[in-house]
Structure 1
Amino acid sequence: MVDRHLTVLTGSPSLAPLLARGALLSPFKRPRPDAGFPRTRLVLPGLRVDLARLAAYERVCGFPTGDDALPPTYPHVLGFPLAMRLMSGRDFPLPLLGLVHTSVEITQRRALTATGEYRLTVYVDEVVPHRRGTEAAVVTEVRAADGGRTGAVGAAGDEAVWESRSTYLARHRTDGLPGAAALVTSVTSVTSVTDQRDPLPAVAEWQLAGDVGRRYGAVSGDRNPIHLYPLTARLFGFRGAIAHGMWTVARCLAAHGTPAAAVMRADFRAPVPLPGTVTYAAGDGLFALRGADGRTHVTGGVYPLVS
């Protein structure tokens, strides 16, 4: 039986027209948690990694370059154009401009190589109320018949060797939404780590330059205006530019280290202003980023998978 919701692509979508479409449609969208959302599953087979772009990503995020294993956050970058095709469409209920990444959970079942060939699947899983607006969950899956070791791509039923679930928030007034003021989404398979009871010990202090958002946007394709310049960020209610959530978690995982098979979870509790100074803290498989004023910006954890 043919899956009517399955769309197979012949190449990775170009980001520039998608971002332009999303920007043009954003003012006309009125997000609400009971809105419909696209059921399409976008599939991109035969994908190979651009090694030069990968090396640039590794440098921006602090991963060692030249390692044959992909950083655990890099498949998110590979799936980003597909996610943008869905999130910039007319049938996606949230405005693309100003969306805030609130959490990500990554499950990696084995190491993926930089020279492997992969098949991506991206889809919107749900749209739900959040205490500050409406939140959408986007899932990215990576499949390879051999886990990426020789580059072969298997059939449609092959196991997903990597998958992620990201939540994106459109902030708006929640007056009149039943229960919205008290409801916080919790749909992941790993316990949220936003309530770490005792402060983790400080490991390092990082000075973040004002161009971190622009440099990460160049290697990831995520050029949301809230990350680029103070002026463009202020248009969406921020005091200045803020770091990408996926840059913060990638930077933390680069410092923390991850096993080949693991579940990684990060919750973005408060924007990381750019430029700025943050303290990286870690211990017992958990990590956090704290500001100079002691405010916690990111909390996360790495949980080894036991086969």
Structure 2
Amino acid sequence: MTASDRTGPGGRLRIDLPRLPAPGALYRRALLGALPGMGGRRRPEVPAVELGVAGVKVDPAHLADYDRVCGFRLADRLPATYLHVLGFPLSLRLMTAPEFPIPLTGVVHVANRITVHRPVEAGETVDFRTYAENLRPHERGRQLDVVLVGSVDGTEVWRGVSTYLGKERTAGGGPRPDRGDRPTPPAASAHWRVTPRVGTDYARVSGDHNPIHTSKLGARLFGFPRPIAHGMWSKARCLAALESRLPEAYTVEVAFKLPVPLPSTVAFGASASGGSWDFALHDARQGRPHLVGTVR
């Protein structure tokens, strides 16, 4: 990798990579770092670095495979969540660095916000950059935001912000959220049977091979009785259900609540208000929330 002679916003050192990293090697590094005595010392702040890679092209076969797994129509226009998958290896490289303040193993993806400035077509070439910011206390540890930006011809066309929680034993932690009453979900308009194959298929198309999604043993090692669906699959599946009603430019934000165990049956519901959408994914039997989101 080579560092450029300029710094990015916030004084971050810009490091340009010649190509997207290989996710498999990065996950092996993360698993090795989880072994006793192998993790090194974590810094108390986010690294002042920004990773970039230019000239990323879409493989049409991969896009079609992703569309099938997530329920999108086969088309040349990229789903909003596809650019998250396309640039995810760059963010993964950032998150598996020894100086990253939260170890990747066991990290929880708690929220994701995507802004589409304009539609992106499969034939376009995308430049990505990624950085971390806003490390803050949480009642169960610490959380931070990993920002991934996609640009075409020097103009930002897409931005994703993923909020991750690193569970830790803390003396005080951050402020406890207001639990309040559980909001009434939108009336269910569809029920989806989510099979274990969703975990393995999405791992294949996304490059996210975290064993909590694909292995019973891996899930149990991190406290889950059985594998769970990827949060970004759940978000993508909800967007696919709204695909024909999405505008040219929008922001879609979700909060991941309870994991979707594999297998299970989930209920999807959405309601429109003034050109915006509220949507939710719930357990079909007990009504427990898996995901709540908005399109604005």
The two structures have a TM-score, normalised by structure 1, of 0.85
Q: Does 1:226 align with 2:225?
A: no
Shift of the 195–222 alpha-carbon distance from structure 1 to 2, 3 Å rule, reads farther
2:48 aligned residue: 39
1 CA distance for matches of 2:291 and 2:265?
14
| Offset, 1:172 | 2.5
Equivalent residue for 1:299, pick from 286, 292, 296: 292
Equivalent residue for 1:125, pick from 127, 133, 151: 133
2:6 aligned residue: 2
2 CA distance for matches of 1:198 and 1:127?
31
Contact 1:130 1:183 in 2 (8 A): no
| Offset, 1:289 | 0.6
Identity of aligned residues (%): 42
2 CA distance for matches of 1:19 and 1:119?
23
The two structures have a TM-score, normalised by structure 2, of 0.89
Q: Output the amino acid matched with 1:268.
A: F
SS for the counterpart of 1:300 is: strand
1:58 aligned residue: 67
| Offset, 1:297 | 0.7
Q: Does 1:14 align with 2:6?
A: no
Contact 1:5 1:39 in 2 (8 A): yes
Contact 2:95 2:104 in 1 (8 A): yes
Q: Does 1:272 align with 2:248?
A: no
Q: Output the amino acid matched with 2:278.
A: L
Shift of the 208–30 alpha-carbon distance from structure 1 to 2, 3 Å rule, reads farther
1:286 aligned residue: 278
| Offset, 1:93 | 1.7
Shift of the 29–168 alpha-carbon distance from structure 1 to 2, 3 Å rule, reads farther
SS for the counterpart of 1:22 is: helix
Q: How does 1:59-138 map to 2 (within 5 A)?
A: 59-65=68-74, 67-138=75-146
SS for the counterpart of 1:227 is: coil
Write the deviation string for residues 56-77 of structure 1: whole angstroms up to 9, x where unpaired.
Answer: 1110000011x12100101101
1:259 aligned residue: 247
> Aligned residues, how many?
278
Which runs of no fewer than 5 residues in structure 1 stay unpaired?
145-152, 185-193
| Offset, 1:54 | 0.8
Contact 2:146 2:161 in 1 (8 A): yes
More strand by share: 2
2 CA distance for matches of 1:256 and 1:239?
31
1:172 aligned residue: 168
Contact 1:130 1:181 in 2 (8 A): yes
Shift of the 137–30 alpha-carbon distance from structure 1 to 2, 3 Å rule, reads farther
Which runs of no fewer than 5 residues in structure 2 stay unpaired?
none
